[in-house]
Structure 1
Amino acid sequence: MFNSLTIHAFYYSAKFSSFSKAAEILDTSQPNISSKMIGLERSLGTKLFVRKQGRVDLSPEGEKLYLAAEKIVNGHREFDSIVQHFMSDDPIIIVTQPRLYKKYLADYITREFVSGNRVHIRTGELSSIKNWMEKEEADIVVTEGLFDDYPLYRKYQEIECLNFIWAKSTQLPPSKPMPVIAHSKVWDHWHDLTSVLQHNDDYQVTLVLDTPDFVQCLVEKGIGIALLPETTVLANPLLEPCPGPTQGNVAGPISIYIKKGSHQRKVDPVLRLFS
């Protein structure tokens, strides 16, 4: 049996008709290649090369061996290509909503962490996050809402379960009916408010928006009431709790999801931030 270096040395020497070129490709010396080829010829009991000044050509026996060596070298290349695929240094893509990034990630995803672990961050609202998940364009998802049955991702951990309450501006008079501002994509996951909003005579007008941050700004200005995180309301001097179309609080889980099939080695550096 001959080792891989000997086979590669023979292949490149034959391919380029040069021991020197083979040595350059294999990062070794020309005498080392020449010595290996002499040893190979002795082992096989035949001449593989016809040596001429400045070049080496294959003998008829060498041409037969070259075809076998070519298959072996190409096999090595294919193997290396597959290994590189598994060991590829693709960036870790994290997607989340802007406010969740500020609360749960901003303090940890420093410039040093990003450069050291090749992390890319995307932020968007729930509709954008669902689109990225459908296209499998995210490795780790930090989101509000429930994706337990999402076929391409598995739930890794629930970070927190927030209470959401109806809130109004501190300057808003308590008269009714009042317009209700709803975040349309969230209700599908937290609570089905459709029938409540449509059949409650106390709340005649419904504004459906897809950006909760904008909803909060509208409520602060006195335009209607909306379901907002309890911690946000209590910490905001412009907002105060008020009665709404639903009774009691609505729970909103904040969870981490991982793309199925992701190598644990790849996502571990990010997941350790939440442990």
Structure 2
Amino acid sequence: MGNTAMDGPPRPEIGGWVIERELGRGGMGVVHAVVHSGDGRRRALKLIRPDMSAGLPEPADEWIVQFEREIAVHQGVRHPHVVRVEEVGNEAGLPYLVMELCEGGSLGDRVGADGPLPVGEAVPLFLDVLRAVHHIHTVRGTVHRDIKPHNILLSRGPDGAPVAKLSDFGLAKAFETAGLSGLTRSGVFAGTIRFMPMEQVVRYKYAKPPVDVWACAASLYFVLTGRAPRDSDGPTRRSRAVPVRERDAQIPERLAQVLDQALDERSGERPRTAEQLGEALRAAV
């Protein structure tokens, strides 16, 4: 990492990208808003968190291997509702990726700042997300495993309308070979437990596409109500989602029925694919 002379004190630079501010961080990575020192392009840059990379014994360290897998998965996904990867690189032995900058921030931040979104704004955004999820499941053969409001970013379409884009593929993996990579140990899980179905916690290593569908429904529930579906911090075999109209009686009844069914882990009728949930949401609104 180097420095570049800008207005005020020099700021860190990675591969020609000058760091402006931190946008967010997760279990492994940190994302910064950056500007290119040559042509002034503004993007987002993700790299391993400094506290994770400090003192790495060798380049084949577990964190680097996992981050390189994220880069490979994310690079392979091209869809209008997935955050676009524009460049990958390596600085001082540590990989990074440069992505489009979604100036609207995340849906999680939006709800935290302004409160729940109205149905007419929230549902179209989740139809965007479900199109992306359908693509990664059916075209890429990948399960995301960490869909939540903070991993759904907001941009603007050509007409100025808000557009949702799925981000953060740090936990994504090919589901047809689930359990064969050796990168996920049995009995270990990661992600955000409030947006996980019980089946994902119990069989995290072998997660299949329906866990992403449940997480999409849970995320929409949160965006509409400001609360996660369960009263408990995480799933148990007995915990169930609180009916959404108990959170907000103004949620339209047909939409509430779709969400309640989608989040009912004991129901054999709940949607198991992103396409099924998308069709149900369109019919409800």
TM-score (norm: length of structure 2)? 0.19
**Higher relative helix content:** 1
**Relative CO higher for 1 or 2, CA cutoff 8 Å, sep ≥ 6?**
1
Greater C-alpha Rg:
1
Output the TM-score relative to the length of structure 1: 0.20
